[in-house]
Structure 1
Amino acid sequence: MPESEKYAQAFMKNELAFTLIGQQLQWSDSDFEKEFRELQLMVDHKYDSYQGFQPATRFHVALLNWLSQFPTLPQRQTAYNFVKDRLIFISQREMHHLVSMLMPIVERLERKRIAAELRIPLFQTELQPAATSRIELLRRRTLFVGLSDGARIDVFRRYNEGRISNEQVVAFSEISDNKWVDLQQELKKSIARRGFSDENPWFEVVCLVDDFSGSGSSLLRYKNGEWKGKIYKFYEANKSRIKDKLAPNCLLHIHHHLATEQAKCQIEEDLERFSKEFQEFEYMVTFSFVLPGDIVINDNDHCVDLVELLKSWYDAGIADDHTGPDIWYGYKNCGLPLVLEHNTPNNSVALLWATSKDGANLQMKPLFARRKRHSSNG
């Protein structure tokens, strides 16, 4: 079939789907023409790429099914306007751009650190041989570790081929003893080849990388008199490696490609408290981009109809032991209108991702079905 015919058929299918959507929303002909053009642009460039859709399913089908759950026209209009005006969808290309921003952040931190060590202005780190040599050593003594399967550590490595070694990139934070031995042996060979054979083969910086933080609680939290979270787990597993595989006062550099303003504040506050108690490491946190606080939906939102819909069209059965109850604004009440191309965070409003169990009195249908990382059945 010629490409022109395929395009024509796809266009007709999309137009039919949007015709049915228009009927649900009681669009006039002029409404349909305007809405179809604007929404189709976002569908083509973003929404159809969502990885949570079933095979052969596209956004317009999900939207049609999602809108059909609401019994009244005002509810459907409120839901549609929410998607059109408030939804933030981070595409794969956008996420990869955020990943690419990590290395410039690392390089800036390296230069600031060496400038402080050598007591020279920052710009002199570009000119003085002692500074450039020290930066080269520090770069090789930096280990990049993924904190989750969403960290895109493979993408980061490909973006920086020739600038970092494959032997200083680790996909998962649970590093075995044998892997640590391999990492140190490769580090020793590498610094010897660079003419630093008299230097200790240990890592000065460990950069812990993750994709997104909505509340900050999975990274670090103090609960029931004890610390929990990814940072604490890494600390407990590796504090014994200091002065062996890790340099004294090794820097734990925690980086997120994307975070909310709430998460940024919470992480910085918790990390400051944590660092005073566990001083074997130094700590730093950075972000490629922080979502502004004004995107959050809560009881004070200017759209009263949306708040009413989020609360009234809510099935309490979607909550579990991990999320806690009353999560119409999402986990930890983050109230995000956010979808990532590979999954929808549970910090986003439940209306976007929740699926009711069979037999529930109120059947919530997702627009962007979520894959759970946590299970209450374990």
Structure 2
Amino acid sequence: MRDDVVKALLEKVISSINYVDEDMTQSYIKYFQAIARYKYDNYQQYSAGLRFIETLAIWLEQFDSVDKKIALDFIMKRVVYISSSEINLIAESCFIDKLQYILIKITATQLDIPEYKLKYIEKSDEYKILKRQSLFCGLSDGARLDMFRRANTGILTHEQIYLTYELSEQRISKMKDELIEDLNIRFDLKLEPDSSEAKFKTLFLIDDFSASGTSYLKLSSSGQLKGKIAGLYEDLFGEKTKIQSAFDKDNLKIYIILYICSTQAKETIESNFEKLFQLYGHKPDLIIMHELDDKYKINADEDIFNICKKDKYYDRELIEDKHTKTNIQLGFSECALPLILEHNTPNNSVPLLWTYDYSEIFTGLFPRIPRHRVL
């Protein structure tokens, strides 16, 4: 569709909204055209031939006249859109900005010197060895470890960066052999396979985003720990498995690195750390690159809150399933986020934004591709 036709379509819809005059209409148009070019047109789940402006016009037409102005201002003032370039920037800067200082702090303690002696620490064999004894694994494909790896070429080796934390026994064995070989060649350590120095001492588990935290660590109704971190801890500290041979369990430090995380997710994850400690005598640290605090959430005193709760804009039969288990008019786990990720809108955001484009009741402005879909 031609740009002038698209503009005219949106202009017609906005100008028909109550209490919106010509000047306000043009102000809206200019803003949305600019933000569409800068970000929104790059949303990866739009259907072929559709972009933001025409999708906005179609989306607005679904609302009652009294709700259109509220919905329009919600998109203009409250939506948080995180582009791929922004996530990539966090992935690329993650080690330099955060993770290397964790290793520097550990090394400073080992050397019994102040942490501010950065150049001395970075040049020390102790720091270089510890850096090589560190393993970096993705908790999902959203971790952007391809970007992370390229940004740290010459700083970290490819053999210590893996796309998944679910490592096979064969892979673990190869990783350990590569670690020993590298340390022996670079530092002439002559390590034996059973030596504690021939094992990984720090494990960084990396992911891009968490809104609820339940996929990482949660307590089930039966009192059992579930989630990715719980499963990994069972492999590392439970009954003897092959994976344990590659880690110095007595001195191992584990860090969960989240590029973007809500305060709700942070509290959910950290609330179960003590349970991990009770079970395994060990608990990780959570490192957040950018925290979305509660000011981002849609609150009950906002007009858009009541619109989100209206059944006419909520395709209950399509959205609610065995995975959501309950009403999610405010998003999964009632996160109530106005958040868009360029590759796909999380279901923790309000469905008003992401309802699937094959819904016959209401479709979202940034339709989501579900992980689980029954055909």
Aligned residues of 2:92 and 2:148 also touching (Cα < 8 A): yes
User: Residues 165-314 of structure 1 correspond to what in structure 2 (within 5 A)?
Assistant: 165-199=157-191, 200-223=197-220, 224-239=222-237, 240-241=241-242, 244-249=245-250, 250-279=252-281, 281-299=282-300, 301=301, 303=302, 305-312=303-310, 313-314=313-314
Task: Tell me how far 1:81 sits from its aligned partner.
Answer: 0.9
Residue identity in the other structure for 2:315:
D
Whether 1:96 and 2:94 are equivalent positions in the alignment is no
Counterparts of 2:321 and 2:114 in 1: how far apart (Å)? 53
1:212 maps to a residue whose letter is F
The answer to whether the 8 A contact 2:15-2:25 is kept is: no
Q: Name 1:321's counterpart in structure 2.
A: 322
CA contact (8 A) 1:206 1:251 kept: yes
- The one of 94, 100, 111 aligned to 1:118: 111
8 A Cα contact 2:169 2:242, kept in partner: no
Secondary structure of 1:259's aligned partner: strand
Change (3 A) 1:128 1:274: closer
SS at match of 2:77: helix
> What SS does structure 2 have at the residue aligned with 1:254?
strand
- Tell me the SS of whatever aligns to 1:89: strand
Give the counterpart of 1:139 among 131, 135, 138.
Answer: 131
CA-to-aligned-CA distance 1:87-127 (integer Å, 9 cap, x gap): 00001111112213320211111111111222211123532
> Any gaps of 5 or more consecutive residues in structure 1?
1-8
Deviations 1:148-175 (A, max 9, x none): 1111111111111111111111111221
Supply the distance in 2 between the matched residues of 1:59 and 1:287 (Cα, whole angstroms): 31
Distance in 1 between residues matched to 2:231 and 2:372, nearest whole Å: 17
Give the conservation status (yes or no) of the 8 Å contact 1:96–1:155. yes
Match of 1:5 in 2: none
Kept in 2, the 8 Å contact 1:315–1:356? The answer is no
What are the superposed Cα offsets for residues 29-51 of structure 1, whole Å, 9 maximum, x if unpaired?
31222111111121111111111
**2:61 equivalent in structure 1:** 68
Aligned residue identity for 1:142? S
1:372 aligns to what? Answer: 370
C-alpha separation in 2, matches of 1:329 and 1:344: 14
Distance 2:121 2:88 in 1: 33
Whole-angstrom distance in 2 between the partners of 1:321 and 1:242: 33
**SS where residue 256 of structure 1 aligns?**
strand
Q: CA deviation at 1:282?
A: 4.7
Secondary structure of the residue that 1:237 maps to in structure 2?
A: helix
Q: Which amino acid aligns with 1:365?
A: T
Distance 1:170 1:80, change over 3 A: same
Q: 2:74 aligns with which of 76, 82, 87?
A: 82
Provide the C-alpha distance between the structure 1 equivalents of 2:292 and 2:255, rounded to a whole number of angstroms: 20
In 1, Cα distance between equivalents of 2:333 and 2:297: 12
Report the Cα offset of residue 56 of structure 1.
2.1
2:66 match: secondary structure: helix
Aligned-pair CA distance for 1:128: 5.4
Secondary structure at 2:248 match in 1: strand
| Aligned pairs (5 A) from 1:46-61 | 46-61=39-54
Distance 1:225 1:322, change over 3 A: same
* Deviation of 1:28 (Å): 3.0
SS at match of 1:207: strand
- Residue 309 of structure 2: SS of its match in structure 1? helix
Q: What SS class does the counterpart of residue 340 from structure 2 fall into?
A: strand
Q: Which amino acid aligns with 1:216?
A: G
Which of the numbers 148, 151, 161 marks the counterpart of 1:156? 148
Q: Find the residue that maps to 2:113 and give its secondary structure.
A: coil
* C-alpha distance 351-181 of structure 1, shift in aligned 2 (>3 A): same
Structure 1 Cα separation of the partners of residues 74 and 234 of structure 2 = 44
Corresponding residue for residue 6 of structure 1: none
Distance in 2, matches of 1:161 and 1:140, equals: 13
Q: CA deviation at 1:315?
A: 2.9
Map of 1:14-25 to 2, 5 A cutoff? 14-25=6-17
* TM-score normalised by structure 1 residue count: 0.89
CA distance 1:261–1:51, change in 2 (3 Å):
same
| Mapped partners of 1:77, 1:358: distance in 2 | 23
- Secondary structure, counterpart of 2:137 in structure 1: strand
Q: In the alignment, which residue of structure 2 is the partner of 1:106?
A: 99
Quote the Cα distance in structure 1 between the aligned partners of 2:269 and 2:257. Answer: 11
Supply the AA of the counterpart residue of 2:112: R
Counterpart CA distance in 2 for 1:201 and 1:51 is 44
Structure 2 contact 219–226 (Cα < 8 Å) conserved: yes
- Is it true that 1:345 corresponds to 2:346 in the alignment? yes
Compute the displacement of 1:358 (Å). Answer: 5.8
Aligned partners of 1:275 and 1:344: how far apart in 2?
Answer: 34
